[in-house]
Amino acid sequence: MFSQKSAAPDSIGQNLSKPEDCLARELGGCPALSSLFQSILGEPPLTRASRAYEADHIIYNLGDPAHSIFYLRSGFVKVTALSEDGKEIILNVHKQGEVFGETCLCSGERGEMAVAMESTEVVEIKIDDLIQHLQESRDAMYGFLVAFCQRLGRAYQTICEFSFDNLSKRLAKVLLRLANEMGRETGAGIELTHYITQEELAQMVSARREVVSSALGRLRQQGFIDYTRKGRLTINRKAVEALVEGTMQLTE
């Protein structure tokens, strides 16, 4: 079964910089990076200081001052929220080439926490730099608004899933999103390139780990997924899609 991770310790970062050829290659290989952020990261020298975080280290915490957004140069980052009793819910998982922390535009304080899921490198973009570029380019402004609205729409979708879908369907939808965001094709199915724990899956569907563990066991027995004790999760995309669409059912 999947392992569990301990709580994330305080953030520990190391200042890094990238040579010109590395940054240029990264920009070309990250289709999710909009022209807006290419211009911010690439002017005028093609080197910009970045920061490295090891797995489970906090990039920013709940209640921290919010004056920046972040570009994910490499690795995976999860954005989480905490309830008053300490229950953690994963709101989103970001991969290389994506931007996170954009809710800093809503208030001057972080309402969520960002944590590295593996060795990760991020570039900080000051909100003043962002606003300057948005003011200078209508196309950049439009692109940013579209991206922001897409994330808002996804948040609404998640609320609906929590309200109306049973656990099996919520879990199936999360597995499909993970397959799309961090999966690679193999002969056995879509293998996740990052090791996702049962606890993390439970936080994505807002359920107890024990309940998710039982559901994963049924999915495995019926051929929807496969995994080993220390291996990565492999997803049968067509079968899981059929489960979401209702053309296949998970036997209890």
Start-end ranges of CATH 1.10.10.10 in the chain?
Answer: 166-245
HEC per residue, 146-196: HHHHHHHHHHHHHHHHHHHCCHHHHHHHHHHHHHHHHEEEECCEEEECCCC
3-state secondary structure of 74: strand
Is residue 23 pLDDT above 80, yes or no? no
Which comes out higher in pLDDT, residue 85 or 111? 111
Is residue 248 pLDDT above 70, yes or no? yes
Is residue 42 pLDDT above 70, yes or no? no
The percentage of the chain sitting over the pLDDT mark of 70, rounded to a whole number, equals 79
Start-end ranges of CATH 2.60.120.10 in the chain?
Answer: 13-162
Confidence at 5, pLDDT banded by 50, 70, 90: very low
* Amino acid 229: pLDDT: 59
- The order of strands in the sheet holding 13-16 is 13-16, 50-53, 120-126, 68-74, 99-100
Distance CA 212, CA 171 (A): 8
B/e letters for 107-146, b = 16+ CB within 10 Å, e = fewer, are eeebebbbbbbeebbbbbbebebbeebbeeeeebeebbee
* Amino acid 32: pLDDT: 34
* Amino acid 84: pLDDT: 79
pTM value > 0.85: no
Q: Determine the average pLDDT of the residues in 82-91.
A: 85
Task: Give the model confidence (pLDDT) of 52-82 as tens digits.
Answer: 999 999 999 999 999 898 988 889 999 999 8
Is residue 142 pLDDT above 70, yes or no? yes
* Amino acid 76: pLDDT: 93
Please give the class, per CATH, of domain 13-162.
mainly beta
User: Does domain 166-245 fall into CATH 1.10.10.10?
Assistant: yes
